[in-house]
Amino acid sequence: MKRNMKTRLFSGLIALCMLLTFLPTTAFAADGDVAQVGDKTYATLDQAVEEAPEGSTITLLQDCELTKGFNKTLTFTGNGKITIDRQLTSNGEGWMCFGLNDPSRVLTFDGAGVSVEWTSDGTSPWLMLSLSGTLNVTNGAELTFKFDSRTTGARNAIYMNAGSEINVTDGSTFQILGVGTEGNAGQGIQLDAAGTANVNVTGGSKFLIDGTNRGYVNSPTIYVEDSTFAIQNCTSNASNGGKFTAINSQITFENNNGHGLSASNVTIENSVLNCNNNAYYGITYSGDMTMDETSVINANENGYGYTGGGLRAYGVSTVEAKAEINILNNVRNGMENYGTFNIAEGAKFTVTGNDEPSTNGGGIYNGGRLVLPSTAVIMNNSAHQTGGGICNAGTVTIPVGVKLYNNHAGTAGDDLYNRNGANATLTDVGDMWVLDDCDHLIDGWYDDAADARWEAHAETEDGNHIEEFTDFSEETGLATVSGLTSLKAAHGKDPIDKTSFPGLDKVIVTEEGDKKEDTAAAGDTVDFKLTSNVPDDLLNYIKPEEADDPEVVNTLANVPVEDRGEYKLTFHDDMNDMFIDPTNFVVKVGDDELIQPDQYTINYEPAQHEDGTTCDFEITVDLVNLYEMGAIDDEDIANATPITVTYTATLSKEATAGSYQNTAWVTYPDGETEKSIVKVNTYKIDVFKYDQTNEEKGLEGAKFEFYQKDGEGNPINVVELTSDANGHIILDGLDAGVYYLKETEAPEGYVCSNEELTITIPDQADASNVVTVKFANSPVPHTGGTGTMLFTVGGMGILAAAGAVMIVPRKFRKKEEC
């Protein structure tokens, strides 16, 4: 009996040993161990790095510190934050040199559980990291340099030698954050030689340099795809040359005390490039630029330093139809062109509010060849000397439809100054242009030379200078000038006040005020307002009470008595097909006079217009009838009292991510206003759930909660989602706002993430109003490695022995029983 109990106890111990051999090796790690290489664990990361063979993977077991530099190919993965709070050294230098003796070496931080915070103390040598190999930040990892640049002298967070490369991929984050305020002498990234290193940011990643002296120096090649890239708050230039490519990305160069984006060649595809509030040029490039039809450039409020402006171009620039360039409110030139700049018909090109305080070309200075689209708007710019709108020293084409007026120059040519030897092709002025000098209608181009500025409002007739430019071809309607020419869009000696005719403006009515552009979700209702005015020329259509005609208004043609008695003002509204069910129409004169439905007509099936366009509805009011019934009086005519139409329309539940444009205009007897356009944006979120070890492998069956939060931070509007067979979850037709995404169940065989992802629309949306989210899952860890295999084989042997021991007692029992 005693021997039987001993045997059983011995067998149990052996079985327990056998079970232990199947546990992961990390189960044997001491509580203080921070890293593992193969089957061996380490109490410090320094020891792990020092002993790890070339090409090893170091798995982080918890947060830890690194105090020693190294120069060998290593990959850091697992879960833990690496803190580096001092200057690392390697290769006998006073800083860390990676890849110095072998530039093929690769340093990789891999996985969403890996983060690195590398801080300089402000007293360390002239750089933090000298990179000769490749630095990878991938699969959701985060690498942050907190770069103290308070000491003087040229210092760098990263010094990239020839052939080196930084890759930020698959939802990862790379940051260089300047933390000093005294001197700020340091560069974020500097190259050893111009154009010899690459920075690639792809797959939903984030790249940020914030608050250094210069962002990057010596022309690295920058490639950004499906990601965000920002250089901001630098005390000098944000960038310094190099090829720059952005595809499906959000790019920001803002608030830098120098140039924003400075590059050689620039390629922009389906991206938004914001270069705003920089001291010098928002954008300047020496080579070629291409911009596809889904991209947007904003170059606004730059040039507050001693030089600069919105955009400076050399080489060949090609802007496709439907692209959008906004150059607004820059201090100095809006745009300078010294190359060939072709803007395709249908592109949106707006240059307004720019002010050149010392030289020429407030809106545009053209020293090369510039082709504008008919949709170009060049207004409200100014120059100290010549060409408030355009100063042309090269060749410029200004087609029909371009809005070029209300610019101002100190010396000559408020709107266009054409130098000797330069060539400008232009068309006549547009209908309903209003001169801001006097609120009169513009009726032509007039001489505005330095010694004979246009003037039509002098105290005496001799003080006026009214010389109209009329050299337009009867066949083409265009005029070409090649000599010194100064022009202003203005009027003759008998001006017509702007209130003589109706105008039209369409806006979106919101709680924050009236807007030209807003956001909505599919199925939402949107409130619109159309505003016209009671015109002066209404007096010419009112029947006189006596036989004598009333006094003619200004110089408007007198309407024969027999043709009076009607003045039809018609609002035309062409909604995007995704807007349906216009309703709740309210028509008013002024703020109080409500026009009843039987006093206007609505036509939902209007005939095609002369230009081939149609609209969704037309509302017609007879102003003479309203005058006769007392809804309009003489004071309304004198004050151009507004006439408004408000209504509500629904954005279809079928609406997907995009920008939905609505257009309105007004027709009146013998006239039509310009079209007024508003836009409503809706958005899409595309979540891609993938295998961390294979970024192309989408994972089916990942479950998420998608929600917003109330004022107290509690989830609301919670929606449960599951990734499809390709790993995607699509949420379309969303309004702007802050949303949250959290995984609740991982696919089988994968670790569930506990991260709550914040998605801000539209801040994170690309040019197509799509927010792309890449969400990785790591597989459930498998035990493995040679050491583990040896333990396993040994364990199987012990198991076999234990089995044999457990069998033997039974034989003994049988013998004893016999």
Chain segment 309-355, per-residue pLDDT in tens: 999 999 999 999 999 999 999 999 999 999 999 999 999 999 999 99
Share of the chain above pLDDT 70, in %: 87
Q: How many CA atoms lie within 13 A of 694 on its CB side?
A: 7
How are beta strands 676-691 and 658-668 bridged, if at all? Answer: antiparallel
Share of the chain above pLDDT 90, in %: 69
- Contact between 791 and 19 under an 8 Å Cβ cutoff? The reply is no
**What is the mean predicted confidence (pLDDT) over 366-375?**
96
Of the segments 312-316, 498-502, 630-634, which one has the largest average pLDDT value?
312-316
- Contact between 97 and 126 under an 8 Å Cβ cutoff? The reply is no
Q: Which of 762, 786, 764 is nearest to 773 (CA)?
A: 764
Mean pLDDT lowest among 300-304, 338-342, 541-545: 541-545
| Single-letter residue type at 687 | V
Scan for tokens 């337009």, then name that residue: 472
State how far the Cα of 687 lies from the Cα of 627, in Å rounded to an integer: 59
- Contact between 293 and 322 under an 8 Å Cβ cutoff? The reply is yes
Which pLDDT band holds residue 671 (cuts at 50, 70, 90)? confident
Q: Give the angle 655-657-660 at the CA atoms, nearest 5°.
A: 65
Q: What is the pLDDT of residues 239-263, one digit of tens each?
A: 999 999 999 999 999 999 999 999 9
pLDDT at residue 25 is higher than 60: no
State how far the Cα of 243 lies from the Cα of 241, in Å rounded to an integer: 7
Q: What is the pLDDT of residues 186-222, one digit of tens each?
A: 789 999 999 999 999 999 999 999 998 899 999 999 9
Q: How many CA atoms lie within 13 A of 500 on its CB side?
A: 20
Taking the model in full, what pTM does it have? 0.73
| Single-letter residue type at 160 | M
Residue 539 carries which DSSP code? G
Residue-wise DSSP of 336-399: EESSEEEE-TT-EEEEES-EESSSS-SSEEESSEEE--TT-EEES-EESSB-SSEEESSEEEE-
| Single-letter residue type at 559 | V
Collapsing DSSP to helix, strand or coil, 491 comes out as coil
- Contact between 345 and 321 under an 8 Å Cβ cutoff? The reply is yes
Residue 378 CA from chain centroid, whole number: 23
Q: How many CA atoms lie within 13 A of 353 on its CB side?
A: 10
What's the pLDDT score for residue 806?
A: 39
Q: Which residues pair with 143 in a beta bridge?
A: 116, 174
**What is the mean predicted confidence (pLDDT) over 411-426?**
97
**What is the mean predicted confidence (pLDDT) over 638-664?**
94
Mean pLDDT lowest among 345-359, 413-427, 598-612, 695-709: 598-612
What's the pLDDT score for residue 430?
A: 84
Scan for tokens 């295999």, then name that residue: 789
How are beta strands 377-379 and 403-405 bridged, if at all? Answer: parallel
Backbone angles phi, psi at 487, to 5 degrees: -130, 150
Of the segments 474-483, 554-563, 677-686, which one has the largest average pLDDT value?
677-686
State how far the Cα of 368 lies from the Cα of 388, in Å rounded to an integer: 18
pLDDT at residue 270 is higher than 80: yes
pLDDT at residue 785 is higher than 60: no
What's the pLDDT score for residue 503?
A: 87
Residue 109 carries which DSSP code? E
Which pLDDT band holds residue 475 (cuts at 50, 70, 90)? confident
Which pLDDT band holds residue 434 (cuts at 50, 70, 90)? confident
- Contact between 730 and 738 under an 8 Å Cβ cutoff? The reply is no
- Contact between 483 and 531 under an 8 Å Cβ cutoff? The reply is no
What's the pLDDT score for residue 11?
A: 54
Q: Which residues pair with 343 in a beta bridge?
A: 319
What's the pLDDT score for residue 607?
A: 65
Residue 559 carries which DSSP code? P
Residue-wise DSSP of 457-480: --SSGGG-B--EE----TTT-EEE
What's the pLDDT score for residue 7?
A: 52
- Contact between 776 and 170 under an 8 Å Cβ cutoff? The reply is yes
pLDDT at residue 594 is higher than 50: yes
State how far the Cα of 114 lies from the Cα of 82, in Å rounded to an integer: 8
Neighbours of 340 (CB within 10 A): 18
Mean pLDDT lowest among 126-130, 464-468, 504-508, 546-550: 546-550
Q: Which of 208, 150, 202, 224 is nearest to 174 (CA)?
A: 208
pLDDT at residue 92 is higher than 60: yes
Which pLDDT band holds residue 91 (cuts at 50, 70, 90)? confident
Q: Which of 692, 556, 560, 719 is nearest to 113 (CA)?
A: 692
How are beta strands 617-622 and 568-574 bridged, if at all? Answer: antiparallel
Which pLDDT band holds residue 479 (cuts at 50, 70, 90)? very high
Query: What's the token pair of residue 491?
Result: 């009027």
What's the pLDDT score for residue 150?
A: 56
What's the pLDDT score for residue 6?
A: 54
Mean pLDDT lowest among 69-83, 134-148, 438-452, 785-799: 785-799
What's the pLDDT score for residue 672?
A: 86
Pick 599 or 32 by higher pLDDT: 599
Scan for tokens 């989408």, then name that residue: 698
What's the pLDDT score for residue 692?
A: 83
What's the pLDDT score for residue 441?
A: 87
Q: What is the pLDDT of residues 43-84, one digit of tens each?
A: 999 999 999 999 999 999 999 999 999 999 999 999 999 999
The residues, ordered by sequence, that sit 6+ positions from 483 with a Cβ below 8 Å of its Cβ are 418, 420
Average pLDDT, the chain: 87
**What is the mean predicted confidence (pLDDT) over 544-549?**
59
**What is the mean predicted confidence (pLDDT) over 145-159?**
73
Neighbours of 517 (CB within 10 A): 13
State how far the Cα of 235 lies from the Cα of 257, in Å rounded to an integer: 5
Q: What Cα–Cα distance (Å) separates residue 25 from each residue in 539, 780, 789?
A: 95, 15, 10
